[in-house]
Chains A and B, each alone.
Chain A
Amino acid sequence: MKLEDLKKIREKYEKEMTLRDGKFKIKIIVGMGTSGIAAGARDTLKALLDEIAKRGLKDVLVTQTGERGLSSNEPVITVEEEGKPSIVYGDVSAEVARKIIAEHIVNGNPVSDYILEVKK
């Protein structure tokens, strides 16, 4: 192994470790209650994780929570960002989840069609 290889390994695996050092800026919370799961929240979650891995995003964290009483709009996800209002999205299919990552997380433009609530 050469010096460059060491650097390559470090860059490749650094992102995976973010979860454990608490250094992240955006937190995506997926509602995983019974109705959330029934409406396909598991696929939404998988799509989020996959998209983040594919794009190699750092500082983003995906976590889950229980039911939030918005059953008719499940799957529901919340995007929390430091110093910004939290945004609650509804009817987030796997496809919408990928869109949210691309537009909201990467470019900073919330996907207005799916916003349920903006929490100050």
Chain B
Amino acid sequence: MSFYRMHIIIPMDEEAVEHGAIEVKRELSELIEKNNLKDEVKVIETGPVGVVGKGVVMIIYPERLYYYNVKPSDVKEIFEEHIVKGRIVKRIEHDYGEKRAGKIVDYKTVGLTREQKRVVLDRCSIINTLDMEEVIAKGGYSAIEKIISEKIKPEEIIEEVKNSGLRGRGGAGFPTGLKWDFTRRTPGDEKYLICNADEGEPGTYKDRLILEGDPHKLIEAMIIGGYAVGAEKGYIYIRGEYQLSIERTQKAIDDARKFNLLGKNILESGINFDIEIKKGAGAYVCGEETALIESLEGKRGQPRKKPPYPVNKGLWEKPTAVNNVETLANIPAIIINGANWFKNLGAVNSSGTKVFTILGHVEYPGLVEVEMGTPLKDIINIYGGGVKKGKKFKAALIGGAAGVFLSEKLLNVSMDYESLKENKAVLGSGAILVMDEDTSIPEILFSILKFFAHESCGQCSPCRIGTRHLVDLIYKIKNGEGTEKDLDMMLKIVETMKETSFCPLGQSVIMPVKSALTNFKEDFIKILNKKNNEEVLNA
């Protein structure tokens, strides 16, 4: 080990790479090498930092200063001024993190660098994902260590997870401990644990951050989950487009195997568990657990009939627990700190934290982890920096395409399962799409419905026909040719789809449609019969 005076973090994801992060890192390393500063300054490549639209980000510790939009041509100046002389390059956009070393100077009161409650993302953009030593030094695999050294039984783990109140972060919010308990209790000697990393909800990229930034957390959680439910084999079903996530997670699995943290007789404890990655092929419906299982078995990705649920008959008809990436990423912290600690975070019936992706018309689009129950307006105004260019807030679409349009009236709503349910909304995947006053809700609804029509798997007619029909209707309405009758028809279709569709894809189309038509009714009424009226006027 050596001691450095400065750590320079270069978060790497597809966006950063596109903007030249690799060149920036190369340039910087060369300068450090050439000037003989290798023993003083360390350059670390980490997973993404959660800031979007800022090109290459560079974080300098111990100051915890963020440089944004760093170009390879800026590197020399940063090196000469900041790294050698300790002076900030003011020309380049920069920002201090709130939790900093030394004296507190002015920091921005808004933005994504404000301190967050990080449980799931605690190591993201702090550690070098590919460096096993850094992972372990920052508490990686310490939950496994605790389980083995304190001889904690599978039943005790399940009890702890149940008591923690952890609920599924994929959208449905089913209690995780209960799911594991069902899987464990179902008789059978062959069981499976699947991690659903087929992150397809438009506007959501929280799982990507974990997969790219801290895959070891997921692996550790899966070992614990496998041990708890009695599975010796786990699968991570990763969305095919997530190239970097797949590479990093695969590397993490290989490293874990080398350290005897995966495979037979883990750390000589008698626990066996191994993980395999399966790439998705771009179907939204495969995020639904039974369709995912079908796809994993090599069949066409279409949902199965429920019951039987996967906990009874899942992969290869064996008991299977399917958990979302973020859900699993909470497990190690629960084991280490206990159920009560977790329960004290967040809101009633919604323990813990939640990772939200903020996008759309905000100053700082990106990703934050805050406690459950944080008011929507705080997330938008404090972390997102408010509506872009000082415009007025119009709407927020919460939970992705299968989410709900909220109007200004609900800006104070607490972001947790229960409060949102009371307001006929859902937490879903945690995407918050902010729209300013100039946004046309019918246009947004049109693109959402086009998405559903494209992604409907076609297995059941209500969804296959309904989504197509909805696209035709909204197209007509947005072009000013719609009538009151068309609006009624849309509501009738989504209600029928909710009652009769086979899987959550068709059942959830009601959420964006109904909320848009009720909360933003004027937007639609305004443009009804517009074309007809204009023609009459022009005649």
A residues in contact (CB < 8 Å) with B = 1-3, 6-7, 9-10, 12-17, 19-22, 24, 27, 30, 32-33, 45-46, 49-50, 52-53, 56, 61-66, 80
Contact = CB atoms under 8 A, between A and B. Distances in A.
Nearest to B7: A19
Interface stretch (B137-145, B192-200, B325-333): B137-145
Given A19-B62, A66-B86, A49 B3 contact: yes
Contacts of A49: 2-5, 39-40
B133 A13 contact: yes
B259 A1 contact: yes
A32 B80 CA distance: 12
20 contacts: A1-B267, A3-B148, A3-B269, A6-B259, A9-B136, A10-B137, A13-B134, A16-B3, A16-B4, A21-B126, A22-B64, A27-B102, A30-B5, A32-B84, A49-B40, A50-B3, A63-B5, A63-B101, A66-B86, A66-B87
A53 B145 contact: no
A20 B7 contact: yes
* Centre residue among A3, A15, A66 by max chain B CB count within 10 A: A3
B500 interface: no
Contacts of B63: 63
Contacts of B2: 16, 49, 53
Contact of A20 (B87, B102, B126, B133): B126
B261 A1 contact: yes
Interface residues of B, number: 42
B268 A2 contact: yes
B149 interface: yes
B52 interface: no
Interface string B16-49: 0000000000000000000000011000000000
Contact of A3 (B3, B99, B145): B145
B309 interface: no
A13 B64 contact: no
Nearest to B131: A13
Contact of B3 (A12, A62, A80): A62
Contacts of B4: 16, 19, 49
Given A12-B133, A49-B5, 8 more contacts: A6-B259, A10-B136, A10-B139, A15-B1, A16-B137, A22-B99, A50-B3, A62-B5
Given A19-B4, A53-B2, A62-B3, A27 B137 contact: no
A64 B138 contact: no
A17 B137 contact: yes
B144 to A, nearest CB: 8
A45 B5 CA distance: 9
Contacts of A22: 62, 64, 99-101
Contacts of A24: 62, 101
